[in-house]
Amino acid sequence: MMKKYLKNQYTKVIATALVIPAMLLGACKKLIEIPPSLATQVSTARVYSDSTNVISALAGVYAGFGAGSYVFNINGGLLDVYTGLSSDETVYSFPGYAPLDAISANNIQPDNAITAGFWSTGYQGIYSVNAFLEGVTGNTKISASFQNQVRGEALLTRSLYYFNLVNIFGGVPIITSTDYKINTTKARATVDEVYSLIISDLTTAISLMSDKYPSAGRLRPDVNAARALLARVYLYRGRWKEASDMSSLIINSGLYDLVAPNVTFTDGSREAIWQMLTLDPYNQTAVAQSFVPYDTTSQPTYILSDNLINAFEAGDKRFTAWTGKNTDGITSWIYPAKYKNHTKTDSPLEQWMIFRIGEQYLIRAEALANQGLLDEARADINRIRTRAGLGNTTAVTKDEVLAVIAKERQTELFDEWGHRWFDLKRTGKATAVLGPLKPNWTASDELYPIPLSEIKTNPFLVQNPGY
> Can you name the residues that pair with 276 across neighbouring β-strands?
352
**Is the predicted pLDDT of residue 201 greater than 70, yes or no?**
yes
Q: Mean pLDDT over residues 66-70, rounded?
A: 49
Cα–Cα separations (whole angstroms), residue 312 to 168, 318, 366, 404, 409: 27, 8, 19, 12, 11
Residue percentage of the chain with pLDDT more than 70: 89
Second CATH level (architecture) for the domain 1-31+46-68+114-209+451-467 = Alpha Horseshoe (1.25)
Q: What is the pLDDT averaged over residues 10-23?
A: 45
Q: What is the mean pLDDT of the chain?
A: 90
> Over 80: is that where the pLDDT of 17 sits?
no
Instruction: Average the pLDDT over 393-415 and give the result.
Output: 99
pLDDT recorded at residue 70: 52
Comparing CA positions, the residue from 302, 390, 388, 340 lying closest to residue 89 is: 302
Digit-coded pLDDT (tens) for 434-465: 999 999 999 999 999 999 999 999 999 999 99
pLDDT band at 71 (very low <50, low <70, confident <90, very high): low
pLDDT at 20: 43
HSE-CB for 379 with a 13 A CA cutoff: 6
- Confidence tier at 43 by pLDDT (50, 70, 90): low
For residue range 164-200, list pLDDT tens digits in order. 999 999 999 999 999 988 888 899 999 999 999 999 9
Q: What is the DSSP string of 205-246?
A: HHHHS-SS-SSSTTSS--HHHHHHHHHHHHHHTT-HHHHHHH
pLDDT band for 10, please (50, 70, 90 cuts).
very low
Closest residue by Cα to residue 131 from 20, 5, 4, 12: 12
Q: Are 448 and 108 in contact (CB under 8 A)?
A: yes
- Label residue 75 by pLDDT band (50, 70, 90): confident
Q: Give residues with Cβ within 8 angstroms of 365, minimum separation 6.
A: 377, 378, 380, 381, 384, 401, 405, 408
pLDDT tens-place string over residues 229-254: 999 999 999 999 999 999 999 999 99
Q: Where are the domains of the chain?
A: 1-31+46-68+114-209+451-467, 215-220+236-338+353-417
Q: Which residues pair with 194 in a beta bridge?
A: none
Lowest mean pLDDT among 31-35, 49-53, 84-88: 31-35
Q: What is the pLDDT of residue 344?
A: 83
- 157 vs 279, which has greater pLDDT? 157
CA distance 285 to 50: 31
User: What confidence category does residue 76 fall into, taking pLDDT thresholds of 50, 70 and 90?
Assistant: confident
Identify the H or E element spanning 410: helix 398-412
CA–CA separation, 98 and 7 (whole Å): 32
Predicted confidence (pLDDT) at residue 2 exceeds the cutoff of 60: no
Residue type, 397: T
Q: Where are the alpha helices (DSSP H) in 20-73?
A: 44-47, 51-63
Catalogue the E-assigned strands of 411-453.
none
Sequential DSSP letters for 327-351: E-SS-EEEEE-SS---BTTSSS-B-
Q: Fold identical between 1-31+46-68+114-209+451-467 and 215-220+236-338+353-417?
A: yes
> Where does 215-220+236-338+353-417 sit in CATH, by number?
1.25.40.390
Q: Give the pLDDT confidence score for residue 68 in this predicted structure.
A: 40
- pLDDT tops 50 at residue 25: no
> pLDDT tier at 3 (50, 70, 90 boundaries)?
very low
CB neighbour burial string for 47-76, b if at least 16 within 10 angstroms, e if fewer: bbeeeebbbbbbbbbbbbbbbbebbbbbbb
Condensed to tens digits (0 to 9), the pLDDT of residues 326-375 reads 999 999 999 999 999 988 888 889 999 999 999 999 999 999 999 999 99
Q: Which residues contact 462 (CB under 8 A, 6 or more apart)?
A: 187, 188, 450
For 266, phi then psi, to 5°, come to: -80, 160
Across 82-96, average pLDDT: 96
316-325: pLDDT as tens digits: 999 999 999 9
Measured CA to CA, the distance from residue 68 to residue 30 in angstroms comes to 8
The number of residues in the chain equals 467
Give the per-residue pLDDT at 28.
33
Tens digit of each residue's pLDDT (9 = 90 or more) over 97-124: 999 999 999 999 999 999 999 999 999 9
Q: How many CA atoms lie within 13 A of 366 on its CB side?
A: 26
Per-residue b or e along 286-301, where b marks 16 or more CB atoms closer than 10 Å to that residue's CB: bbbbbbbbeeeeeebb
Report the pLDDT value the prediction gives residue 465, as an integer from 0 to 100. 98
Q: At residue 163, does pLDDT exceed 50?
A: yes
The pLDDT assigned to 182 comes to: 85
